[in-house]
Amino acid sequence: MMFYGNTVSKPIPSYQIYKGTVFEMVDQAVDFVMSRVDCYVGEAIESVQVPVEYEIPHQVVREAIVNAVAHRDYTSNSSVQVMLFRNRLEIWNPGGLPSGLTISKLYAPHSSIPANPLIAEEMYRAGYIEKAGSGTLDMISRCREAKISEPVFSVEPGKFIISFKRKSSLTGQVTPHVTPHVTPHVTPQDKVLLSTFQNRLIAILVGEKSRTELMETLNLRDRKSFMNNYIEPSIVLGYVQMTIPESPQSINQKYCLTELGQKIRNEFTGHDTGHDTVQVSDKFQRNIIGLISVMNGELSRSEIMTILEVTRRETFYKNYLKPSLENQLLEMTLPDSPQSKKQKYRLTTQGQRLQKKLKAEK
């Protein structure tokens, strides 16, 4: 589940229930998180491999979800819950710590006491678990390397919780900019923040790449989700094309940018006009532009609807408000209380740049 604010409250912009083998559920849950946390993409000049970093390292998210699936209490009617808030990621699993293991011991070397040894063994054989008893220490080490807060482990009645602070909640939003010379490691000055599936694909697609190569670059494993969220919408929108369009299922199929896709990528990397450009990709583009154009200070939902002459709340939320929030062009004044009667909306820094650009083009 994904939430706009920092509490469990409606509206819920993304809610998924996954079923299948333990391996499939882990892959799907990890991809859900990685596709929605901030993604920073640099530009590789001397090679075609584009450096990609996530605000929470992929290995950390994967280890936490594997831990939840392997150690959950399968006699409970509850399920593993992965919840992405504006300021943190939480993974809940039914059950608690085994006897003899305490929260403080998780931060130091400790023996492995798997709640489900058969599942743990199979996940080890499949490469999902590297070394028994090392999971929490690996997460702590990788968080330190990424210069983000260490995970917080806690036990509440009926559940064990792992929580990670999101980097964006600590440092603020990174200015979308890429310098013309980027090393294989993405540094804070040499990266662009990408918030939509299609923009992420465009940013990493250099030359011709297969589906497998693209998924590996983004650290994704769920093929169906990747095709539905990244490839197919990008083809429909005219950003990406197949190298063998007459045989979509060919084992030799690869993908490359169209002229439009390359133009958008140039804008990301600063190889085009050099002006600030905000790419709004979606079928809601016209509605988003209309909303951004009329924003002035902080406005309530009813005030915006009146200005836009939109009468139905459902239509306004689906076609105007939600895509503007998802594209990080608009933000709530009370993000912790999405349903508050005092809720208002204002432009983000990115939204202000887009509004300025729209005014200049009139």
Which are the contacts of 318, defined by CB distance < 8 A and separation ≥ 6?
A: none
Does residue 14 fall inside a structural domain? no
Instruction: Read off the CATH number of the domain in which 269 is found.
Output: 1.10.10.10
Quick one: 73 and 115 in the same domain? Answer: yes
CA distance 217 to 206: 11
Same domain, 49 and 64: no
Residue 5 lies in a domain: no
Confidence bin at 131 (pLDDT 50/70/90): low
Asked if 86 and 131 sit in the same domain, the reply is yes
As a whole-number percent, the residues of the chain with pLDDT over 70 amount to 83
Q: What is the CATH number of the domain that holds 89?
A: 3.30.565.60
Q: Is residue 344 part of a domain?
A: yes
- What is the domain range of residue 194? 45-53+173-275
Residues 28 and 154 occupy one common structural domain: yes
Question: Residue 150 pLDDT more than 90?
Answer: yes
Pairwise CA distance, residues 56 & 63, whole Å: 12
Structure tokens at 121: 């063994």
Q: Are 60 and 158 in a shared domain? A: yes
Cβ–Cβ under 8 Å, residues 240 and 230: no
Q: Which of 165, 193, 208 is the last residue in one of the domains?
A: 165
- Please check whether residues 236 and 328 belong to one and the same domain: no
Asked whether residue 355 is domain-assigned, the answer is yes
Asked whether residue 280 is domain-assigned, the answer is no
Q: Per the domain annotation, does 15 fall within a domain?
A: no
Residue 46 confidence (pLDDT):
44
Which range (177-191, 223-237, 297-311) has the least confidence? 177-191
Residue 178 sits in the same domain as residue 255: yes
Q: What is the average pLDDT across 91-119? A: 86
- Pair 183, 302 in one domain: no
Same domain, 349 and 207: no
pLDDT digits (tens, 9 = 90+) for 209-234: 999 999 999 999 999 999 988 998 88
Q: Are residues 179 and 317 in the same domain?
A: no
Query: Which tens digits make up the pLDDT trace of 40-94?
Result: 876 654 455 677 889 999 999 999 999 999 889 999 999 999 999 989 999 999 9
Q: Is the residue at 10 inside a domain?
A: no
What pLDDT is recorded for position 186? 40
Q: Give the C-alpha separation, 179 to 190, whole Å.
A: 5
- Give the E-state strand segments of 87-183 in sequence order: 88-94, 152-156, 159-165
Last residue of some domain: 165, 197, 212?
Answer: 165
Confidence class for position 21, pLDDT limits 50, 70, 90: very high
Distances (CA, A) of 19 to 16, 25, 89, 202, 312: 10, 6, 21, 30, 35
**Among residues 165, 188, 218, which one ends one of the domains?**
165
Mean pLDDT for the chain overall: 82
Letter for the amino acid at 138? D
The answer to whether residue 353 sits within a structural domain is yes
End-to-end CA distance of the chain: 40
| CA distances, 241 to each of 81, 167, 233, 238, 282 (Å) | 36, 34, 11, 7, 17
**Strand runs labelled E in 10-51:** 39-41
Q: Are 67 and 186 part of one and the same domain? A: no
pTM: 0.68
Distance CA 16, CA 32 (A): 9
Count of the separate structural domains present in the chain:
3
Sheet holding 152-156, edge to edge: 81-84, 88-94, 159-165, 152-156
Mean pLDDT, range 343-355, rounded to an integer? 87
- Asked whether residue 141 falls in the same domain as residue 32, the answer is yes
